[in-house]
Amino acid sequence: MKSVFLKLAVGASLIASIQAQAYPVIDEAVPVGGHPIAVFRDEKNPKVFWYIPQSIEPWKRDNQHQSSLFHQGSTLSFIFRGQASVEDSMLIDVAKAIGTKPDNLMPITYDSSSNLVCQDIFVEEDRVSWKFPSMIGNYLEVVPVSIRTDNRAVVDELKYHLTHGGLACTVEVKFKGVTTGYRLKVVADFNKVYERFEAAAHAEGLWWEVDIHTMLERLRQERIITITSLEDETITQTELDKKIHAAADELLKAITTSMFNPALKLPQGNIANRGKAFSFRADYQRSQENNHVEFTLESNKVQLKSSQISLRLAVD
Amino acid sequence: MNQFNRLSSIVTAFTIWSWSAHASAPQNLPNFGEQVSVGRMQAFVSPKGLTWFLPLAMRSELSCSPGSTSRAARRSCNLRVFNNFSPNEEAALVQLERSTGTKVVALSAMDSGKVLTVGERFPTFAQGIETGEMILRTLQVNPSGPYASVLLRAQGKTISEIEEQYKSQGLGEFKSEVTMRGESVDAYLAINNAQLLRQELSQLTGRYSNLQMTQIIDRLISRLSVTAYGFQEDEKRNVLQHELRRFFQNSRHRQYEVSQTKVQHLTDTHVILDDRSAPFVAICTATLDLREGGVSQTRCEEVAQ
């Protein structure tokens, strides 16, 4: 099957520069009808999608970097030039599947690569030399691999495989994306929460941030507030505790927005290192709805994601 | 689950607020309660919006270097496993999407929320045969290249035997074992266009008799887009009526008015009931008979805890 390589549009680079520091959201790949590329949403622009090609094929874009195979007598020399491939027609199908235009699909640039490993059962043979880099660099760069031998026993064998399907390699690539730091469901009896805060308020009805954190943790232990993971119901308690810890500030914000106002007038005394001060909202109303309130806390973080892609060492 | 239990389970009033900056689409687990075969693959139809399928549709090819005059000379074969849909399978996936009204999505090794491990292996070959394996472990279909391959190198006679064996009884099995998270959905009821409900209810500012309230609710139900799974028609209607009544409250003198506080917190998809098992781990094994014309078959089962 012939591949038509994606023409690197200057426009794509321009969009990429405008999207400086924009990352794909790598929690879940976007459904693309089974096509062999992983596609992710852009963190900021809902119309933009990022894709990572899954294979590196022999270079066919132009004549500058063609793979070459020299066979003379008992000497065989093969130089592979490859490039991450994506067919124009597949991008069009993928764009249609996700309801966008092909121009909105952008290739993810690999941050790094490592562990290029190839089928090399000739490694024990005399006078067969393989040279390939451990890294492949940016997905658009040429991947130089060379094989040379003057071992008559393997020349015909190796030539056959390089011209009939090629030899297989895999390489690990890493790319940056954002992932959900946490996605938690909070269920709380707001009326009871308010009563507890009211009963334990400091003088003049004030609360300090650090004390609110302490009270919220106590309410969680008493299950007046419960927090569960929306991402994974089989998560371990240790992992869940880490996420709840990371979400502590967001939880405080959710509670204080409902029940407190920033305190305008602070009392005298030692209030250093206790954070912001809040006073109760006069308009908070106990109600049946507030007996059972649910909301979601969510946050993203940038991380490196790794993927294994294939590389086909072949003439074409 | 009978109607009474279902009503009881939704009696507890709840309000969902979302504080998240990014609205997330539902990402349900594969539903092992409804597995269907799509050609060589297994799909898991879920009422919650996403039908996941395992994209393992494998076949193999054997390509051997030509024989030489010396039987003792070494030859090699590349045994390649390809993973791509046939046109019929592709059409069947499209048809499944239409018939179920869900989005059909391929599971991927990059989707760590659902796919836990991908383990793939070739059979063990006889002594005297050198092997060089290459396996992707990505669960991606790849029309342009092999999904996995193994180079077999041995003396010429052995390679000839391998070629013959591939054409007849086969060279063994290539297995792809995927462990994943799943659930089993018994019943599910959701209003897909709750923004319509929100809009209509927010305009009802008067007080209504019981009869008027009932008529309003029946009219609303007729305009709602509802996903119902595991419900009889009358059961579904009763639960919907009960759910919509929750948005009304007694004002006085047997009159009802809409609780606008509850209405404001309706999200676009309003899930009324999601009756399912706790998530469990399942293992799906796609087995490819490594012989000429052989294709893979996929079987899935829950892993005993």
Residue B19 has a pLDDT of 23
Q: What residue in A sits closest to B150 (Cα-Cα)?
A: A119
C-alpha–C-alpha distance, residues A246 and B139, integer Å: 33
Cβ pairs bridging A and B (under 8 Å): 158
Q: Which residues contact A298 (CB under 8 A, 6 or more apart)?
A: A180, A182, A183, A184, B19, B20, B21, B22, B24
Predicted confidence band of residue A142 (pLDDT cuts 50, 70, 90): low
Answer whether B137 sits within 8 Å of A231, measured CB to CB. no
What ipTM, to 2 d.p.?
0.72
Contacts of A156 in chain B (CB under 8 A): 65-66, 68
Those residues whose C-beta lies under 8 Å from the C-beta of residue B107, and which sit 6 or more positions away, are B30, B52, B53, B54, B55, B114, B115, B139, B178, B180
Give the minimum alpha-carbon distance from A58 to chain B in angstroms, rounded to a whole number.
Answer: 11
Chain A residues within an 8 Å CB radius of B149: 119, 168
Per-residue pLDDT at A8: 31
Give CA–CA dist B84/B147, Å, rounded.
9
Q: Is the pLDDT of residue A131 over 60?
A: yes
Q: Which residues of B touch A168 (CB under 8 A)?
A: 80, 134, 145-146, 149
Instruction: Sort strands A55-58 and A293-313 into parallel, antiparallel or unpaired.
Output: parallel
Task: Write down the pLDDT at residue A11.
Answer: 33
Q: What is the pLDDT of residues A178-230, one digit of tens each?
A: 876 778 889 998 888 988 888 887 666 778 777 888 888 888 888 889 888 77
- Residue A155 — φ and ψ, nearest 5°? -55, -50
pLDDT score recorded for residue B21: 25
Q: What mean pLDDT do residues A54-63 have? A: 75
Whether residue B18 and residue A295 make contact (CB cut-off 8 A), yes or no, is yes
A223: which 2 tokens?
């299950």
Helix H or strand E segment including A115: strand A112-118
Min Cα–Cα distance to chain B from A268, Å: 35
Query: What average pLDDT does the segment A262-277 reach?
Result: 64
pLDDT at A272: 58
Which residues of chain B neighbour A165 with C-beta distances below 8 Å? 61, 63, 78, 80, 146
Residue of A6, A41, A55 for testing the chain B interface, max B β-carbons within 10 Å: A55
The larger pLDDT score, comparing residue A103 to residue A198, is at: A103
Helix (H, G, I), strand (E, B) or coil at A296: strand
Over residues A106-131, the mean pLDDT reads 81
Query: What is the distance between the alpha carbons of residues A251 and B20, in angstroms, rounded to a whole number?
Result: 11
Output the tens digit of pLDDT for each of chain B's 305 residues: 344 344 333 332 222 222 222 233 456 889 999 999 999 999 999 998 889 999 999 999 999 998 765 556 789 999 999 998 888 998 999 899 899 988 888 888 766 678 888 899 999 998 889 898 888 777 777 666 788 999 999 988 899 999 999 999 999 999 999 999 898 999 999 998 988 998 899 899 889 999 999 999 999 999 999 999 999 999 999 999 999 999 998 877 788 999 888 887 787 888 898 888 878 889 999 999 999 999 999 999 988 76
Interatomic CA distance for residues B83 and A28, integer angstroms: 22
As a whole number of angstroms, the distance between CA B56 and CA B286 comes to 7
Work out the widest C-alpha separation in chain B, in whole angstroms: 105
Interchain pair A292, B19: CB under 8 A: no
What distance in Å separates residue A119's CA from the closest CA in chain B?
Answer: 5
For B181, which of A31, A87, A234 is closest by C-beta distance?
A: A234
The backbone torsions φ and ψ at residue A135, rounded to the nearest 5 degrees and listed phi first, read -120, 160
Q: What is the arithmetic mean of pLDDT over A142-156? A: 81
B135 token code pair: 């396996």
Sign of CA dihedral A181, A183, A188, A190: positive
Q: Which residues of B touch A34 (CB under 8 A)?
A: 55, 85, 90, 93, 106, 141
Residue B266 DSSP one-character state: -
Q: Which residue has the higher pLDDT, A149 or A138?
A: A149
Residue B161 makes CB contacts below 8 A (sequence gap 6+) with none
pTM of structure:
0.71
CA distance linking residue B88 with residue B94, whole number of Å: 10
Say what the pLDDT of residue A203 is: 64
- Note whether A33 and A90 are within 8 A (CB): no
Give the contacts of B124 (CB within 8 A, at least 6 positions apart).
Answer: B172
Interchain proximity B130–A121, CB inside 8 Å: yes
| pLDDT at residue B69, as a whole number | 56
- Per CB-CB distance under 8 Å, the chain A contacts of B143 are 1, 36
Q: What is the mean pLDDT of residues A69-97?
A: 83
Question: pLDDT for A8-40, tens place per residue?
Answer: 333 333 344 444 578 888 777 787 765 667 788
Cβ contact B144–A1 (<8 Å): yes
How buried is A158 (Cβ within 10 angstroms: 0-12 exposed, 13-18 middle, 19+ buried)? buried
